[in-house]
Structures are given as structure tokens and as C-alpha cells.
């Protein structure tokens, strides 16, 4: 029988038998540096495949016993049950006994659009998608609009931007998408330069309809339209929650809805990403993205952790974070198209799991979400890999690769293609980090035993990108379930907002808005 | 009398009296959360200014005693002496008693071009700069070239790219610069799309003239020119070391030199950045950048640490890293123009100080370079700040801000400008991180005591950007001097190259190139 929310919040992971086993196993983590450690049998065994991807984890510091214990931990914390509860509409976004958001968590509904809708959330997903298709068909027919500027920040920016950049090989001819996010006025000024506003749509995205940066940039951009003799209402679209202050169709050419059960950082496959992606890449490619995400969603229901890619990745991450004690994780895509994908994952992971209380409101005695960072390889090799290879700091690495390039414009130089060079480097790094190297010159010693995994698919397509996105969404959700934290709120952003408003009140002339410390800071800053 | 290299490599920082004092002081770091902690006196006192910037550090967890002890540490490790040795041409890039690069470290020479040259290095800087000016005057006159594609990776990419993007408000009309770095063939394919090659210059940058990625991309790009009926020699420029395999003027329209005494990650103000920046922004703006860098270079010679901005930042970083034990540092520019600046700093810092042996070849018993990461604010506030505010992990933050926007296209929305909103957020974050907030709801508690500093200038101009670049170059160099490590080599990148070549040999058909582990990985990856 599936557990209730009240039951699962009582599961303290560090009290489970599996956690104790893992603590003991962590005294002697697998030594990757001994000769023969990376045996062909190990490499073959430590592999899982789903939704077009294979995850290779022979270069992690785990043994079969460790993976067994991690699998038990998943069972004892009811990880897959919790995932099912989430997908089925349980109110997972809450902290028991305390005021909290108390919302369902249904981003998976935004891509469950390929069958008959079995719930209100699915009906809404399909309705919004149909609305989008009709709008774009009209826009195609009208043929007027070549550019779209998405105005949004955080979840309304990073995911859609990362996905759009990742699929440039699928861009619709004559269409371009741009993004304005920062309240820094130079952001909008820079993006609007050189655009023909008469042929430009603006998509304003804010779930709450109250995001300071987004509303300010909406006004800033609208003023440019007015200045150019254009009516913003003819050009502006909105994506917002039903009933938000922005939910006012009279102000927009077209409005789309998002729902309070989809958090910003999980919203890329909803209309938050949909409008820009379908405009820039075509509806079919946006649907391809949804299909891939849906495939990975289904894999996350798999109960055997060794076959559930996102759960397996979550468990390996917990081994590195809680048992080997590493505070960060580097995500290193060997694809230049994924140039901003890590910035999205940084938000996804750190905003979700950068928490210190559990779902009963008690301080947790174990480490939670790591610092997530990274840049594409091979670029990173010429930048920060020095520290990863040779400093005392150990950084678990997650490599992402593709067998073929996206655009297929390649050539042979000195006997190999660029794609082969790219892949040779990816594989070489995983081996080098694991095995290390001794040397008489102490400056040429590589300690090795730096854990990594490789996630690989055939090609970065809309579908594999959707699967990759969902893989990380679920990895993050599984880790939150295992840590018994609420991955779906973000109370930590509130204090800064409150204090920023005090500074703004001061700028508006309220000389009592600030205390002496704030006034001293302003003065020291020359403001 | 100035010390010799042999003398300074004997200084173990953890053996100095100041280190012991700091260790004791770290038992009770300054508590920023108590009422009145951020007194106006403290804010005023903890401020240093030079080269257009002020560094405010009242929100670090330091007392006057801590700053005194850090200043003593700088003296006892002869930090400024070492900086002088570096600027004066001492062979600072070496490890005593072991084979090493044994080079001077003279990136400061690339901007010491405003007086009479007093050394061979300065003469060379001026000669290359004159050569560049002549070339660009010819190009201006000819009027043919609108675009320049820089082909380079690591130091030949990140610095120039970050600086170019940061100065878009100063871009020369009708000129654009693009960057191809990754060996991923999608990188070049994506950049070349839509370019009119007949009006495009290509600047190939590799100090060694042997960088795999760069030579491959040079060939890939050249093939596109040939395909378009254009002669690459008419379009291609080179920046390389004298005598490198690329130092062949017959192959290039024009060649420029860089020198072995300027490391890649320190080369942005040499011809490595100069060609692209002067083409895209105009010579005067490139000279402005050099002037600002030069001004900060001179400030780094200041012997009083409280007046030496880069040294002070280095010392505060060492307090956070070695005495409070924080493994990462977030650099958070409140300027969208600095969107790739942190990627450059990541390389600059992590490749320089991600080391584990000292300059005598012995393992160091203390922590060295931190993991450096970050994204512009306010964007980051909607992404990863949740973890910074509320997780257990403490992340020292370096805020960067400017009183005015670069482009000046701003407007009043609800009583304040966008620039005021941006600055209000920056200041609010520093206060929020420091002071925290208690609450009855445990999910709304902010622990505070998260250290930060604010670096602020009037406006992001070529000159302040140059100063900012030099500030971080010197912060990194000072930390290396203090830690007694060689910040100027990068032996940690070698092993990956060697192993990648084995995979490449395999792809070329050499079936004995790989061992069983590598072959198993290839197979598991479906390759």
C-alpha cells in the first residue's frame, strides 16, 4: 500500500539500516587507482540505460555492495513511492506542522499530453498546448513575426534559454528568440539593439505576476515599442498563473496559463518554455522535447534502482555528498550546445535542495544539496580541470556526451573527426580522474580516485534533450525525497527581497526606511 | 633588501607567527548577526579604494585584529616583495629542485605601454601594440571587414570573450566579434552560420601553436572559406609565440606575437585579447582597458595591505579558505555585461591555485585555491541564492557593482530606476547574508554569518574593466605567493591529453593503443 505524506515525513534517512551500512562502507571506498580496478566486467556491470541514455558509473568510488546498500536506502526511504505520490498529485510541497506553500508538484503533467487526459492537470496541459498550437499557426500564416523576446527571470529564463540554445540545429528558419532577465537596464538595452520591433513578439513570463525584475523589464521594453510608434498590446504575450495580476487578457495579444502546481525551476516544459521554444524551433520540436521528457518520467517509476536512471544518479550523488563528504558537483557536458544548461541545473538543484530543515521543520543532521557548477568540455579542460585533477579538493564530475554532433558539419583533421576528438577527451578525462598517475616529479603526480560518471546518448535532439532535462529534475526530486526535505519551496529568497524594498523606499525618499548599518553601507558605496 | 627566489620558497605560511595568531582568532570569528554588529564605524573603517574601485568588507567575518594579523601574514610571507619580483622579471614560474617551466611572469608588461620602455619585455609590448594599430588602421581604411572570429581555447578564449561581452556599450559600429573554442564541431558550425565570410577575419590564437582544439577548428573554419571560394590566407590572422609551429607569416594575413612569459590565463591584455578587442571596440577602448589594468598593477605594489586592493582581497580570501574552512567562493557581478566574466575568473583562479605542492615540490598541509563559480545578479537571486542563504553550506560571496549602468538607457518604474533596483538588491543581499533573521517558522529562519564583500566602481568602462581584470589577476597571484605554490604552471592538464591521444590512436585504427579498461568504456558508451 502506498504511504501517506504523514508517514514519509517521519522517515529520517540517517536512522535507516541502509544509512548505517553505507557509513561503514565509506571507511574503505573503492580504490580506482589500483591496477585493474576498472575491469571490463565492472565497466559492463555498472551501466544503466533508458530513454535513449546510458549512465556509466564504473568510475565512481562504489562497489557492488555500496550500490546494494544505496538501493536499500532508496527502498527504506520509499523513494519511488514518493515519486509516484508526486506524479499522482499528492501535496508534496509542504512542511508538516508549519505554514508552507501546500501545493501539488505536477510538472510531469506538462508533458503527459500524448494520451487521453485522466486528470484535471492533464486536461489543462493539453488545453494550453492546443492554445499555443493555434496561436503559432496564426503567426505562421501571418508571417509577420521573426523575433521573440522572452522577459522573465529564474525559472522563467534559465530553463527556456538553456533549451533554446541547445537546439540551435533545429531552429526554425527566419526565427530567433532572445532573453531579457536581469533588472540591470543594460540587459534589455543590449538585447533590443538591432531588433526590428515591428516584427518582434515579447513574451512576459511570471507565475506570480509580481516579479520585480520582470514587471520592470516589461515596462522598459514596452516603452521602446511605444517610442517606435507600436502598440505593445499587439506584440506582447503573457504566461502567468490564473488570477495573477498579469492575468489580464486585455493587456496582451495572447495569454497562456501556468499553474501553482508547477514550480518555476520545473516549468521549462510548460508554457513557460513552450511559447518561446515552439516559436523558435517549431511545434514539432517542442513536442519532441515533451516526448523525451515523458519517456524519462516513466523510467523514474521503475522500482529497481539499478534500472531507474535518475534514482541511480541521485543515489550516487548521495554517496558522494553524505558518505564521502564532497560539497560540490561539477556537471560537464561535452557539447557546446549545452553552454547554458548547467546554469539551469544550478538553479534546479541548488534552489530545490539548498535546505537545512526536514519536512517536519527540524534541522537535518546530514548534508543536503551540493553546490552545482560546470562548463562545457573540452573548454573546461583548458580552464578549471587543473584543480579537479591536482588540488586536494575532490570534485565529483558528471560527464554528458553524445555519439554524434547535432549539426553534422564535421571533417577529418589528422585522421579523426572533431566529434571523435571530443569523445576521446571525455573518456580520457573520466579515466585520468579515476586512475591518476604516479611520477618522480611531484608536480606531475595525479592522485586519482576522483569520482565521475558518464551519461551518453546518440545525439542531442529535442527528444534526448527532453529526457536529459527530466533526468536532472528527477535526480533532484529523488535526492530531496531521500533527505526528507521539501525540494519545492524557496523561502530563502524572501529576506533579500524584503531588505531590497527598504533600500528602494530609501531611494524613493523615505529617509526612515533604512537603519544605520544600511545607511552606512550606502554611503561607503558612494550612493 | 629584496629576497631571492631561493629565500621565498622556504617560507611556509603555516609556520609564520601570523598564521598561529589567525588560527587562534578563527575560534571566535566576528559575529555579524548580533544587533549593531554592522556599525557605521565598522562599515566606514572596512573600506579600501584604488583605481576607481572601493572594496567594502564590513560584511566579512573579520575584526580589526584579524585584519592586522592578515597584514602581518602578508609581511611575513613577503607578499608585496614577491609581486615586485614578478613584475621585475624574476623567474617566478618554477618549482625548486624539479623540472618545471622556469619562466618569467610578465603579463603586467602588456599594459606597461604608456611610458618609455625600460626593458626588453616593455619594448616588445609596445612593438606588438604598434603593429596592431597599423593593422587596424589599414583595416579601417579598407573598410572590408565587419566580423572577426577568434579561434582559441582556455586563455585564448575566456578572457577576450568576457571582456568583449562586457564592453558592448563601447562596440564599434558595424563590427562584431565571435568566438570558436570547443573542438565540438557544433561550435564552429553554429558560429559560422549567417556570417558573410568575404567580410570576416579569423584570428587563430595559440601560444604553443600546437593546441589540438584550436588547430582543428582552424582547419574546419579554413575549409569553409575555401568552399566559399575565398583564400584563407587573406582572412586569417595569428597570435602565437615566436618560433611556434604557427609562427609562419606566409600562412597568415598578419601575425602577432605573444611571449612565453605571459601565461594563457593572464594574457587577455596582450595580443591574445588585443586583436579582437581593438577590432571590435576600437583601439582607444583597448588602450583604455590597458590604462585601467596598469593603474591596478601599480596599486598592487602598495605595501600597506589595507590600501592594496588585490592583496586585501587575497588575504580576506585566505581567512575564509584556510581559517574558516570554506571550500568555494561565489563571484556575483551585479552587471549583466559581466555575464561571462566569472567563467574567466574560474579559469584564472582554479588553474593557477588548484595545486597541492609548494614551490619546493612538497605536499602542502593547508588548503589552496577554492572552487570559483557564480552568475550575475539579480539573476542568481532567482537561482542558487536559496542555498547560499539557507543551507548548511557557507559560501563566501564577492559582489561586484557599478553606480551607473553602462548604456544609460534606463527609466523610472514605480519610483525608482532599474539601476537603483539593481543596486538595492546588491546591498540587500550583503546585509541579508550577514545578519540573517530569526522566525518562529523554522523554514523562514536565516542563520546569517555568511561572509561577503562588495567591490564597487562608478561605471563599467574600458578602464574600470581593465582594473577589475588586474584586481583578480593579482588577487590570485598574491594568494599563490602566500601559499608558496606556483600559480603559473598547469601540469594537471597533461594526463588527460596523453590519454585522449590514446583514444584518438584507437579511432585511427591502432587496436593496441588502448588497455582493457578503456576498450570496455568505449564499448559501454556504444562507441
Smallest Cβ distance to A346: which of B184, B378, B384? B384
d(CA B116, CA B296): 19
Average pLDDT over residues A220-241: 97
DSSP state letters, A393-456: ----EEEEEESS-SS----EETTEEHHHHHHHHHHHHHHHHHH-B--SSGGG-B-----EEEEE
pLDDT at B1: 79
- The secondary structure element, H or E, covering residue A132 is helix A120-142
A60 shares contact with chain B (CB less than 8 Å): no
Alpha helices in B50-207, H assignment, sequence order: 64-76, 79-87, 120-142, 158-166, 185-192
Active site residue A351: yes
What pLDDT digit, counting tens, does each position of B464-500 carry? 999 999 999 999 999 999 999 999 999 999 999 999 9
Nearest-Cα distance to chain A for B329, in Å, is 11
The pLDDT of residue A2 is 86
How far apart are alpha carbons A330 and A172 in whole angstroms?
32
Rounded Cα–Cα distance for residues A467 and A458 (Å): 12
B227 is catalytic: no
Q: Which of B141, B142, B173, B382 is catalytic?
A: B382
Give which of A349, A359, A368, A383 to mutate to test B binding, by max B Cβ within 10 Å: A383
Count Cβ atoms within 10 A of the Cβ of residue B482 and give its class: 0-12 exposed, 13-18 middle, 19 or more buried.
buried
Measure the CA angle with vertex A85, ends A79 and A88; round to 5°: 145
Is-contact B265 B352, C-beta < 8 A? yes
pLDDT 10s digits, A105-162: 999 999 999 999 999 999 999 999 999 999 999 999 999 999 999 999 999 999 999 9
**Which of A 300-339 lie inside 8 A of B, CB atoms?**
327-328, 334-337
Closest residue in A to B375 (Cα) is A343
| CA gap A391, A66 in Å, rounded | 26
Pair B181, B218: CB distance under 8 Å: no
- Say yes or no: B431 contacts chain A, CB-CB below 8 A: yes
CB contact under 8 A, B525 and A56: yes
Q: Which ranges of B330-446 would DSSP assign to H, the alpha helix?
A: 341-353, 385-390, 418-435
Q: Tell me which chain B residue has its CA closest to the CA of residue A168.
A: B190
Q: Following CA atoms A186, A187, A190, A191 in sequence, which dihedral angle do they give, to the nearest 10 degrees?
A: -160
Distance CA B160, CA B179 (A): 9
Give me the catalytic one of A213, A351, A398, A473. A351
| Distance between CA atoms of residues B387 and A356, nearest Å | 9
pLDDT tens for chain B, 527 residues: list them.
789 999 999 999 999 999 999 999 999 999 999 999 999 999 999 999 999 999 999 999 999 999 999 999 999 999 999 999 999 999 999 999 999 999 999 999 999 999 999 999 999 999 999 999 999 999 999 999 999 999 999 999 999 999 999 999 999 999 999 999 999 999 999 999 989 999 999 999 999 999 999 999 999 999 999 999 999 999 999 999 999 999 998 999 999 999 999 999 999 999 999 999 999 999 999 999 999 999 999 999 999 999 999 999 999 999 999 999 999 999 999 999 999 999 999 999 999 999 999 999 999 999 999 999 999 999 999 999 999 999 999 999 999 999 999 999 999 999 999 999 999 999 999 999 999 999 999 999 999 999 999 999 999 999 999 999 999 999 999 999 999 999 999 999 999 999 999 999 999 999 999 999 999 999 999 99
The answer to whether A367 contacts B392, with C-beta atoms less than 8 Å apart, is: yes
Minimal CA–CA distance to B414: which of A212, A185, A180, A499?
Answer: A212
Identify which of A364, A382, A324 has the alpha carbon closest to the alpha carbon of residue A480. Answer: A364
Q: Is A369 on the interface with B (CB under 8 A)?
A: yes
CA dihedral angle for residue A198, residue A204, residue A209, residue A211, rounded to 10 degrees: -110
Whether the upstream peptide bond of residue A35 has omega within 30° of 0, thus cis, is no
Alpha-carbon distance B395 to nearest alpha carbon in chain A (angstroms): 9
State the cell numbers at A54: 546510458
Closest C-alpha to B186, from A335, A339, A417: A335
- B421 catalytic per annotation: no
Q: Count of A–B CB contacts within 8 Å?
A: 524
Question: Could you say which of B41, B141, B173, B497 is catalytic?
Answer: B497
pLDDT in tens, A51-91: 999 999 999 999 999 999 999 999 999 999 999 999 999 99
- B387 in A contact zone (CB under 8 Å): yes
A493 closest CB neighbour out of B44, B386, B393: B386
Tens digits of residue pLDDT in B222-267: 999 999 999 999 999 999 999 999 999 899 999 999 999 999 999 9
Identify the helix (H) or strand (E) that includes residue A379: none
Whether the model pTM is above 0.95: yes
CA distance to partner chain A, nearest, from residue B358 (Å):
9
Surface of B (84-143) touching A: CB under 8 A: 95, 98-100
Q: What is the pLDDT of residues A172-184, one digit of tens each?
A: 999 999 999 999 9
Amino acid at each position: 500500500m502506498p504511504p501517506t505524506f504523514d508517514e514519509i515525513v517521519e522517515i529520517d534517512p540517517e536512522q535507516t539500516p541502509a544509512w548505517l551500512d553505507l557509513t561503514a562502507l565509506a571507511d574503505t571506498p573503492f580504490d580506482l587507482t589500483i591496477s585493474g580496478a576498472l575491469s571490463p566486467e565492472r565497466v559492463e556491470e555498472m551501466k544503466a540505460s533508458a530513454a535513449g541514455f546510458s549512465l556509466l558509473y564504473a568510475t565512481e568510488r562504489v562497489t557492488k555492495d555500496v550500490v546494494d546498500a544505496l538501493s536499500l536506502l532508496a527502498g527504506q526511504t520509499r523513494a519511488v513511492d514518493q515519486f509516484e505520490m508526486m506524479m499522482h498529485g499528492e501535496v508534496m510541497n509542504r512542511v508538516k506542522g508549519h505554514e508552507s506553500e501546500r501545493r501539488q508538484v505536477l510538472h510531469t503533467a506538462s508533458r503527459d499530453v500524448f494520451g487521453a487526459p485522466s486528470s484535471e492537470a492533464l486536461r489543462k496541459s493539453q488545453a494550453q498546448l492546443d492554445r499555443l498550437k493555434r496561436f503559432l499557426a496564426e503567426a505562421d500564416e501571418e508571417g509577420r513575426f521573426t523575433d521573440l523576446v522572452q522577459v522573465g527571470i529564474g525559472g522563467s529564463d534559465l530553463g527556456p534559454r538553456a533549451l533554446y540554445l541547445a537546439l540551435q540545429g533545429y531552429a526554425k528558419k527566419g526565427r530567433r528568440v532572445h532573453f531579457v532577465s536581469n533588472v540591470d537596464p543594460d540587459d534589455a538595452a543590449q538585447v533590443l539593439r538591432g531588433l526590428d520591433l515591428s516584427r518582434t513578439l515579447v513574451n512576459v513570463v511570471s507565475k506570480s505576476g509580481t516579479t520585480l525584475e520582470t514587471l520592470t523589464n516589461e515596462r522598459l521594453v514596452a516603452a521602446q515599442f511605444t517610442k517606435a510608434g507600436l502598440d505593445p498590446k499587439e506584440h506582447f504575450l503573457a504566461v502567468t498563473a490564473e488570477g495573477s495580476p498579469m492575468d489580464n487578457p486585455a493587456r496582451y495579444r495572447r495569454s497562456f496559463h501556468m499553474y501553482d502546481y508547477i514550480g518555476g525551476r520545473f516549468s521549462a516544459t510548460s508554457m513557460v518554455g513552450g511559447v518561446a521554444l515552439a516559436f523558435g524551433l517549431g511545434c514539432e520540436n517542442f513536442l519532441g522535447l515533451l516526448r523525451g521528457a515523458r519517456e524519462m518520467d516513466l523510467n523514474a517509476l521503475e522500482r529497481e534502482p539499478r534500472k531507474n536512471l535518475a534514482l541511480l544518479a541521485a543515489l550516487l550523488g548521495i554517496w558522494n555528498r553524505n558518505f564521502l563528504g564532497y560539497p560540490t558537483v561539477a556537471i560537464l557536458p561535452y557539447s557546446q550546445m549545452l553552454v547554458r544548461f548547467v546554469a539551469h541545473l544550478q538553479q534546479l538543484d541548488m534552489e530545490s535542495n539548498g535546505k537545512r530543515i526536514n519536512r517536519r521543520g527540524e534541522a537535518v543532521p546530514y548534508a543536503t544539496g551540493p553546490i552545482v557548477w560546470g562548463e562545457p568540455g573540452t573548454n573546461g579542460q583548458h580552464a578549471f580541470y587543473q584543480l579537479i585533477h591536482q588540488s586536494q579538493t575532490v570534485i565529483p564530475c558528471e560527464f554528458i556526451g553524445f555519439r554524434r554532433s547535432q549539426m553534422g558539419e564535421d571533417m577529418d583533421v589528422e585522421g579523426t573527426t572533431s566529434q571523435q576528438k571530443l569523445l576521446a577527451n571525455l573518456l580520457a578525462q573520466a579515466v585520468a580522474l579515476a586512475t591518476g598517475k604516479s611520477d618522480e616529479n611531484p608536480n606531475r603526480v595525479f592522485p586519482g580516485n576522483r569520482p565521475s560518471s558518464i551519461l551518453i546518448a546518440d545525439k542531442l535532439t529535442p527528444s534526448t534533450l527532453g529526457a536529459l532535462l527530466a533526468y536532472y529534475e528527477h535526480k533532484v526530486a529523488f535526492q530531496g525525497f531521500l533527505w526528507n526535505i521539501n525540494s519545492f519551496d524557496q523561502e530563502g529568497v524572501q529576506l533579500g527581497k524584503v531588505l531590497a524594498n527598504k533600500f528602494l523606499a530609501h531611494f524613493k525618499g523615505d529617509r526612515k526606511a533604512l537603519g544605520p548599518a544600511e545607511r552606512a553601507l550606502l554611503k561607503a558605496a558612494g550612493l
